Amino acid sequence: MQSTMVEALNQALALELERDERVVLLGQDIGPNGGVFRVTDQLQKRFGERRVFDTPLSESAIIGSSVGMAAYGLRPVAEIQFAGFLFLSMSQLVTQAARMRFRSAGAFGCPLVVRSPFGGGVRTPELHPDSLEGVFLQTPGIKVVLPSSPYDAKGLLASAIDDPDPVIFLEHMKLYRSFRQEVPEERYTLPLGQANVVREGSDASVIAYGAMVTVALEAAKQIEERSGKSVEVIDLRTIWPLDEATITASVEKTGRAVIVHEAPRAGGIGAELTAIINERCLYSLLKPVERVTGYDVPYPVPGHEDFYVPNVARVTDALERALAD
């Protein structure tokens, strides 16, 4: 069936609630209202108030309660309305959920999924669009998933709920209803830590995730039309674990790499990928690795976000530098 990302996520949650009585959903306004973006629409009506329930507006309480439920055998899926407010639950996430397996010497896990919208391009106020994936990349014990399409969102969410350890599942707001895609009605999973080559090429590699995959694909298309150069585009799908094998194979083939993400530049996923490429592909590189990112400032007010979020022109400029003789 043709589905938006919101519809695909709703289908995934319904299937998990059906197949596993341990799965519970919690968060502010996710019950009768179906969540701020309606991802949980009709799920409380269908599965009852014991499986899908509203919480007070307290991010620390939502995540703290979820850690306790996970430790006692449930599979909580918590919704934080906007990723910028994850800061209010950092202690529960970083000092409790992420360390459960390490602290118990592997005896206990914390099968918790935290869903949260993020991302620019929809003119939201402060702390709503912030990209925090780099913060969680620096948090051992937590997996970080950022789907770029409805199909991926459904399969990756099912895998995240299956996972025995905590998963941060970041959903780009601009992708929620921007396009439809064929999505199977039945349950399926996509492995965490496995990237997807969404466009094959031989002259340069672009590595992206979330909404930046669409930007990268358009830039690759324009470069091919202008110069005939063939650009490969890799969708990471998860930034931790990282699919180093796919990244390495692509850059060893093309000799050129451009990394695109919306989060700030310093110490981010682009810096980590650049280090990996330099460590593993140094003798294959024909040009320095290019990074196209957000800037090292707080996310700007809505009127200025077009200057902040990477666009097709910035990615094509980076590709032209990488492809220059």
Q: How far is CA 262 from the centre of its chain?
A: 11
Q: Which of 203, 202, 229, 198 is nearest to 216 (CA)?
A: 198
Distance, CA of 13 to CA of 172 (rounded, Å): 17
**Torsional class of 47: left (φ above 0), alpha (ψ -120 to 50), beta (otherwise):** alpha
3-state secondary structure 179-242: CCEECCCCCCCCCCCCCEEEECCCCEEEEECCCHHHHHHHHHHHHHHHHCCCEEEEECCEEECC
Q: Is 174 helix (H, G, I), strand (E, B) or coil?
A: helix
Q: Is 25 helix (H, G, I), strand (E, B) or coil?
A: strand
Give Cα separations from 114 to 44, 117, 224, 236 (angstroms).
18, 10, 39, 19
Instruction: Decide: 251 and 277 in contact? Cβ < 8 Å.
Output: yes
Instruction: Decide: 285 and 319 in contact? Cβ < 8 Å.
Output: no
Residue 128: active-site member = yes
3-state secondary structure 265-278: CCCCHHHHHHHHHH
Write down the number of H helices and E strands in the chain. Answer: 12, 14
Enumerate the β-bridge partners of residue 145: 169, 238
- The residue from 128, 172, 261, 304 that is catalytic is 128
The alpha-carbon radius of gyration of the chain (Å, integer) is 20
Active site (catalytic) residues? 128
